[in-house]
Chain A
Amino acid sequence: MNFQDVTSAPIPKEFLAIILAGFGNELHPLTGNHGDEPCPKALLPIANKPMISYTLTWIEESGIQDVLIVCPATHREALSNYLQSDEFSSTLVVNFEAYDSNDPSTGAMEVLAAAAPRCQTDFVLLSCDFIPHPSLPLSSVLNEFRVATDGALAISLFYEASVLDKSEEVAFLEKPPVVIVDPSTSSLLHVDYSHANEEELDLRMSLTWKFPRTRLLANFTDSHVYVCRRAVLDLIVDRAKGFDSFREDFVPWLCKLQYQRRRREKFTAVLSHNIRSSPSSALRHSTRYSASSKRDRTVAPTSSDTSDDEGPLEQTLRCGALLHRAKDGYVTRTNNLYAYSEANRRVLATVLASAPAPSGKPAPSQNADSLIAESSRVGERTSVKKSVVGRHCTIGKNVKIAGSVIGDHCIILDGAHLENCILSQHTRVGEKAELIRCQTQAGLEVEAGAKFKGEKLEVDSWAEGHGDSEEEGSESESE
């Protein structure tokens, strides 16, 4: 407390933002280790800014001040170095919750259950790889949560997947789940990942009794942005033993609380523990409020005298869903390679559109559709098209780069040819090498004259000493 200041009185915080910064298995080899240092997924650059900076800026704009980043213990140092560096400045108060697990497949549930004691308020659960759009401020999701006077448990955000191109990489991507929403109350009723490819869907009858008119959506993906009540953390702690993934296991389970009577009864005690005084008395007097008791198949309500003035109103425990259409702006989760490169392209386009005059003289034969960091040097007769080049890179002469993402500190020697590649930091590409649709791990050295097409290049494969250009890539795409 400030002793000089008369006016300050501490205000309790409304929301805590919890960011899950995982390993990023789908983005391998970009997230592979650079020597002994880890490359956290959260620090992978999109248009030369780390992924997590987009998330943090989004949070900051909405007025939330406290952030808790949940990350593996090995990544913690790298993340905190970035946050304290000069490149990143904000008024957020960031804390870390490191979990000691080197197993990349640790589920989010376990990690959240461990982090639960650090959160005392309602929270916003985010993934570090969500790239928002200005047309979708976080405050609109927060407002949806605040306005819900009927006791909503959580508000989730679903975005419409943009039209994907039909290349082979895309076929391996996860299909969007089957999502059932009730449009009148915008509640999320059913999320199903296992039936996404099939033609039949199993639903509970209690769902159809309670919500006779629903809509089924097949092209909306979960953005992993959830605004939840504090009570949901208690449920997470309770369910952490059985569930692994928050998105795929817990959220569908949570939706069922709205209509499965027995489950409700079991958990109402847990939930009503932490309920802040809901404005039930005010709601009873509200002129636009109408209790949804007509859907209940119980007896007609008894006399108005006793029950109306006392006791809290029944909570719907609903899980709301906010839907973001593709036409309103491009948002995505960059948790796989395709989405990562697509996000780079889109953000590049918008960054270039808004900053038409890059500082410094235009490098020779560099088109205006690329983003090249100032500290990088590009040689003569090099063409860089639709690409993002990181900091401190050295690009030689006669190099052709198209549609690629080049990380920091890369060295690309003369005559190389890169197309649709993603190079991690400290990659070195030899002379006249050709890389088409490849992704490299940090610290990789590509031999001069090597030709790779559609492969993921890892450092380990080089340690074995093969120098052939027909080197096989790493393990297959789906993991």
Chain B
Amino acid sequence: MSKQERRELQEKQRAAKEVAKAQPAKGAKAANKPSQASQDNQSSKKLSKAAEPSTPSLGASASAKSLNATSASTSQHNLTGTEAFGLRIFSHFGAIKHPSGPAKGDIHPAIVRLGRQFAEFAITGANARCIATLTAFQSVIQDYSTPPNTTLSRHLTTHLSHQINHLVGARPMSVSMANAIKHIKVEITNSDIDMPEQNAKDELCHKIDLYIRDRIIVADKVIRTTALRKIQDGDTILTYARSSVVEKVLLYAHSKGREFSVIVVDSRPMLEGKGLLSKLSSAGIRCTYILLPALPSIIDEVNIVFVGAHSMLSNGAVFSRAGTAMVAMMAQERSIPFVVCCETYKYSEGIHLDSFTKNELAPLSVSIPAASSEEVQSEPNLQILNPLYDLTPPTNITAVVTEVGVIPPSSVSSLPFALGRQFI
């Protein structure tokens, strides 16, 4: 056989092997799904069990399938061969699954509500989700009563973990939520055994209020005062998407009389910059709105870039909305200071080296507007992927503004030590 023919044979065998791998990969992915969030499989089992007694309802036979194949906002992804192909890139996140059936087990109504709000992306943003979670936990704690033969400090943690699993099933937890929950669990285990139950619950709710106040609200106030020093009159400030901290910084600077103009860079599918734009322009700040691809043309006019963060990693990298890394890269190239405003409670102990290891895909209801979602979903060869986050390497970041000061990204790992704690 000539070299050509041997090459062709090799290619054919390789293609056949790929196809054969896709079949067990599909089987493995179907087996992976249960391990992802057992919540969802159990809820889908409940759906199919509920389908049995629902014979009186119209259309009993295909009820499980029809429950799957409806309602544009929450549809389960059946992993067919073509879908398995597209998800190869982000297959370790798994398919996006939305349990649309009733919550399994005794989940508090506030958590059920919150889970729906997270799943439908009604509340987004690290700070917002954390505050919403903590507020919901306050209701859960107030409605909790210690069962006999155990104490609040031991049992409440398990009770809360059960609720947290439901939330995680709706949408993966953010680092801010994770840190806040860690903090609450420590507070619970430290609560006094001898205290009467209602007092202990009130004390916990108060501690939660303090956490929100100290680590988010007051931290934001300190950050905006610190950031004010970096803003001069006549500056052109660039910001990406929408960060609650940066919004507060800009509004505060404007209220303090600084003259500056803002360029809001936005990107699909979330298009969060529009909200920021309306907020800033109704406050009287001069704004420009561009999409991310237009950035290179306009970046030369920028004096300073402010962005927010979802979390900070211990090597100084910043994990934030997809697109921030590109903005950072361009700013770095032109020596424009790239400033990240981030509260200390978002610090995460891990280190990621790229955006692939940990990420989240936007659900279809967010990626595609409802009008065209049905045609797009029925396309067999089309797969829509929208990773929500990306990683900005520490070399592109000039400074991080936290409530303990302005620090270079390389010193981020010393934050817990500087705050006098073991963990953040």
Check A147–B145 contact: CB distance below 8 A: no
B130 to chain A, nearest CB (A): 8
Kindly report which residue of chain A lies nearest to residue B63, judged by CB atoms. A134
Contact with A along B57-79 (1 / 0, CB 8 A): 11111110011001100100000
Check B121–A288 contact: CB distance below 8 A: yes
Check B117–A12 contact: CB distance below 8 A: no
Q: How far is the CA of A282 from the CA of B139 in the complex (A)?
A: 15
Cβ-neighbour of B272 out of A13, A288, A353 (below 8 A): A288
Q: How far is the CA of A76 from the CA of B63 in the complex (A)?
A: 32
Which chain A residues numbered 1 to 27 have a C-beta less than 8 Å away from chain B? 3, 5-15
Which chain B residues numbered 109 to 134 have a C-beta less than 8 Å away from chain A? 109-110, 112-113, 116-117, 120-125, 127-129, 131-132
Stretch in B31-39, B80-88, B96-104 touching the partner: B96-104
Given A146-B117, A279-B135, A304-B252, A12–B143 Cβ distance below 8 Å?
A: yes
Check A281–B50 contact: CB distance below 8 A: no
- Whether, in the assembled complex, A49 has its beta carbon less than 8 Å from a beta carbon of chain B, the answer is yes
Q: How far is the CA of A61 from the CA of B216 in the complex (A)?
A: 40
Q: How far is the CA of A146 from the CA of B145 in the complex (A)?
A: 25
Check A285–B128 contact: CB distance below 8 A: yes
- Whether, in the assembled complex, A167 has its beta carbon less than 8 Å from a beta carbon of chain B, the answer is no
Which chain A residues numbered 131 to 159 have a C-beta less than 8 Å away from chain B? 131-135, 137, 139-140, 143, 146-147, 149
Check B59–A149 contact: CB distance below 8 A: no
Q: How many residues of A contact B (CB 8 A)?
A: 68
Kindly report which residue of chain B lies nearest to residue A150, judged by CB atoms. B122
Q: How far is the CA of A132 from the CA of B60 in the complex (A)?
A: 12
Contact with A along B89-109 (1 / 0, CB 8 A): 000000000001111001111
Chain B residues with Cβ below 8 Å from A147 are 116-117, 120, 122
Contact with A along B130-151 (1 / 0, CB 8 A): 0110011011000111111110
A74 to chain B, nearest CB (A): 26
Check B278–A290 contact: CB distance below 8 A: yes
- Whether, in the assembled complex, B171 has its beta carbon less than 8 Å from a beta carbon of chain A, the answer is no
- Whether, in the assembled complex, B243 has its beta carbon less than 8 Å from a beta carbon of chain A, the answer is yes
Check B149–A282 contact: CB distance below 8 A: no
- Whether, in the assembled complex, A350 has its beta carbon less than 8 Å from a beta carbon of chain B, the answer is yes
Chain B residues with Cβ below 8 Å from A63 are 101-103
Given A9-B147, A329-B58, A286–B53 Cβ distance below 8 Å?
A: no
Chain B residues with Cβ below 8 Å from A303 are 255
Contact with B along A40-67 (1 / 0, CB 8 A): 0000000101000110011011110000
Cβ-neighbour of B113 out of A132, A146, A346 (below 8 A): A146
A86 to chain B, nearest CB (A): 14
- Whether, in the assembled complex, A174 has its beta carbon less than 8 Å from a beta carbon of chain B, the answer is no
Stretch in A28-36, A293-301, A458-466 touching the partner: A293-301
Classify the secondary structure of A's interface with B. loop
Q: How far is the CA of A351 from the CA of B63 in the complex (A)?
A: 12
Chain A residues with Cβ below 8 Å from B128 are 282-287, 289
- Whether, in the assembled complex, A347 has its beta carbon less than 8 Å from a beta carbon of chain B, the answer is yes
- Whether, in the assembled complex, B173 has its beta carbon less than 8 Å from a beta carbon of chain A, the answer is no
Chain B residues with Cβ below 8 Å from A330 are 58
Chain A residues with Cβ below 8 Å from B242 are 287
Cβ-neighbour of B54 out of A131, A134, A290 (below 8 A): A134
Check B71–A140 contact: CB distance below 8 A: yes
Chain A residues with Cβ below 8 Å from B122 are 147, 149, 286, 288
Q: How many residues of B contact A (CB 8 A)?
A: 75
Chain B residues with Cβ below 8 Å from A15 are 109
Cβ-neighbour of A286 out of B109, B123, B144, B255 (below 8 A): B123
- Whether, in the assembled complex, A272 has its beta carbon less than 8 Å from a beta carbon of chain B, the answer is no
Contact with A along B242-256 (1 / 0, CB 8 A): 111000100110010
Chain B residues with Cβ below 8 Å from A350 are 58-60
Chain B residues with Cβ below 8 Å from A328 are 70
Cβ-neighbour of A143 out of B100, B144, B148 (below 8 A): B100
- Whether, in the assembled complex, A85 has its beta carbon less than 8 Å from a beta carbon of chain B, the answer is no
Check A301–B148 contact: CB distance below 8 A: no
- Whether, in the assembled complex, B357 has its beta carbon less than 8 Å from a beta carbon of chain A, the answer is no
Chain B residues with Cβ below 8 Å from A9 are 106, 144-147, 155, 159
Check B109–A53 contact: CB distance below 8 A: no
Q: How far is the CA of A12 from the CA of B107 in the complex (A)?
A: 9
Q: How far is the CA of A11 from the CA of B109 in the complex (A)?
A: 8
A196 to chain B, nearest CB (A): 27
B342 to chain A, nearest CB (A): 14
Q: Which of A61, A293, A309 gathers most chain B CB within 10 Å?
A: A61
Kindly report which residue of chain A lies nearest to residue B50, judged by CB atoms. A61
Q: How far is the CA of A301 from the CA of B279 in the complex (A)?
A: 10
Check B282–A294 contact: CB distance below 8 A: yes
- Whether, in the assembled complex, A277 has its beta carbon less than 8 Å from a beta carbon of chain B, the answer is yes
Check A49–B100 contact: CB distance below 8 A: no
A443 to chain B, nearest CB (A): 26
Q: How far is the CA of A140 from the CA of B70 in the complex (A)?
A: 11
Chain B residues with Cβ below 8 Å from A143 are 74, 100, 116, 120
B29 to chain A, nearest CB (A): 27
- Whether, in the assembled complex, A305 has its beta carbon less than 8 Å from a beta carbon of chain B, the answer is yes
A340 to chain B, nearest CB (A): 15
Q: How far is the CA of A282 from the CA of B123 in the complex (A)?
A: 8
Chain B residues with Cβ below 8 Å from A121 are 109
Chain A residues with Cβ below 8 Å from B59 are 133-135, 329, 350, 353-354
Chain B residues with Cβ below 8 Å from A140 are 71, 100
Chain A residues with Cβ below 8 Å from B279 are 290
Q: How far is the CA of A5 from the CA of B146 in the complex (A)?
A: 12
Check B58–A346 contact: CB distance below 8 A: yes
Chain B residues with Cβ below 8 Å from A149 are 117, 122-123
A93 to chain B, nearest CB (A): 15
Kindly report which residue of chain B lies nearest to residue A305, judged by CB atoms. B255
B274 to chain A, nearest CB (A): 7
Cβ-neighbour of B282 out of A89, A282, A300, A351 (below 8 A): A300
Check B275–A287 contact: CB distance below 8 A: yes
Given A6-B147, A63-B102, A282-B135, A290–B57 Cβ distance below 8 Å?
A: no
- Whether, in the assembled complex, B56 has its beta carbon less than 8 Å from a beta carbon of chain A, the answer is yes
Given A143-B100, A146-B116, A309-B217, A133–B58 Cβ distance below 8 Å?
A: yes
- Whether, in the assembled complex, B331 has its beta carbon less than 8 Å from a beta carbon of chain A, the answer is no
Chain A residues with Cβ below 8 Å from B63 are 134
B390 to chain A, nearest CB (A): 16
- Whether, in the assembled complex, B198 has its beta carbon less than 8 Å from a beta carbon of chain A, the answer is no
Chain B residues with Cβ below 8 Å from A277 are 135, 138-139
Contact with A along B279-294 (1 / 0, CB 8 A): 1001110000000000
Q: Which of A8, A13, A277, A289 gathers most chain B CB within 10 Å?
A: A289
B397 to chain A, nearest CB (A): 21
Check A279–B55 contact: CB distance below 8 A: no
Kindly report which residue of chain A lies nearest to residue B245, judged by CB atoms. A285
Given A6-B149, A282-B131, A287-B272, A139–B100 Cβ distance below 8 Å?
A: yes
Chain B residues with Cβ below 8 Å from A133 are 57-59
Chain A residues with Cβ below 8 Å from B54 are 57, 61, 134
B257 to chain A, nearest CB (A): 11
Q: How far is the CA of A8 from the CA of B242 in the complex (A)?
A: 42
Check B56–A282 contact: CB distance below 8 A: no
With A8-B147, A132-B57 known, 8 other A-B pairs at CB within 8 A are: A13-B109, A14-B109, A143-B74, A146-B116, A287-B242, A288-B270, A289-B123, A347-B58
Which 9 pairs from chain A and chain B are nearest by CB? A63-B102, A14-B109, A282-B132, A354-B61, A286-B128, A287-B125, A285-B128, A304-B251, A285-B127
Complex A-B: 9 CB contacts under 8 Å:
A8-B147, A9-B159, A12-B109, A135-B66, A139-B102, A281-B135, A286-B122, A290-B274, A329-B58
